[in-house]
Amino acid sequence: MYSIFRQAQQGFSYIGLMIMVAILGVVLAATGDLWQTSARREKEAQLLFVGHQFRQAIGRFLQQTPERAKRYPMSLDDLLLDPRYPNPHRYLRQIYSDPMTGTTDWGLVRGPNGEIYGVYSRSDEEPLKKANFDLADIAFEDGQKYSDWQFVYVSRQIKVAPQTPPAKPLTTPARNRR
């Protein structure tokens, strides 16, 4: 009788071990998803910080231009060392890397003469953050991808051309009159 009872228990430890492995797998998968989301939120916060740094540097560059010749920088390198002055004028310490792509290859919002109005990430990923932006970034709400987050400095003194063509006016069909 003892041998029958012992044969029934031989598979129980194996099934218990398999259940523990399955539970551990589910917990690790949930932890991985949580970690990935947390890391992505951190990259978004870093993108907002770096974008603001570029926007402020472009604004300082423009404000320190003599009144008669106000202009935006022609390259990002102009923000590192302003070529217009004999003494070094720096608006950025470095060209920051895009946290979403890991490169310094930023998309540039250019004006009609090639000047730089702002920067944006070249990432086509969909952002996690969709609302609750600062007033300066309110245009980012409901952005479909990170490249929609354009960090543009707009001066009150210089008119910035819109980046999208204006909508065509609506026309109403003419009615037939007899």
pLDDT digits 0-9 by tens, 103-160 = 999 999 999 989 999 999 999 999 988 888 888 888 999 889 999 999 999 876 555 4
**Boundaries of domain holding 52:** 16-152
Answer whether residue 35 is part of any domain.
yes
Q: What pLDDT does 86 receive?
A: 83
Answer whether residue 171 is part of any domain.
no
What is the Cα 156 distance to its own chain's centre? 25
User: Would the pLDDT of 82 be above 60?
Assistant: yes
Question: Please, what is the average pLDDT of the chain?
Answer: 82
CA distance 87 to 147: 35
Q: What is the mean pLDDT of residues 41-70?
A: 90
Task: Provide the whole-model pTM.
Answer: 0.71
Answer whether residue 87 is part of any domain.
yes
Q: Are strands 107-110 and 116-120 parallel, antiparallel or unpaired?
A: antiparallel
Dihedral sign, CA of 113, 114, 120, 121?
A: positive
Answer whether residue 23 is part of any domain.
yes
Q: What pLDDT does 34 receive?
A: 82
Answer whether residue 107 is part of any domain.
yes
Answer whether residue 172 is part of any domain.
no
**How confident is residue 176, by pLDDT bands cut at 50, 70 and 90?**
very low
Q: What is the mean pLDDT of residues 20-32?
A: 86
CA distance 147 to 74: 21
Percent of the chain with pLDDT over 70: 81
Q: How many domains does the chain have?
A: 1
Answer whether residue 60 is part of any domain.
yes
**How confident is residue 162, by pLDDT bands cut at 50, 70 and 90?**
very low
User: Would the pLDDT of 174 be above 70?
Assistant: no
User: Is 90:84 a contact under the CB 8 Å cutoff?
Assistant: no
**Which amino acid would we find at residue 105?**
D
Answer whether residue 173 is part of any domain.
no
Pick the range with the lowest mean pLDDT from 70-74, 99-103, 141-145, 171-175: 171-175
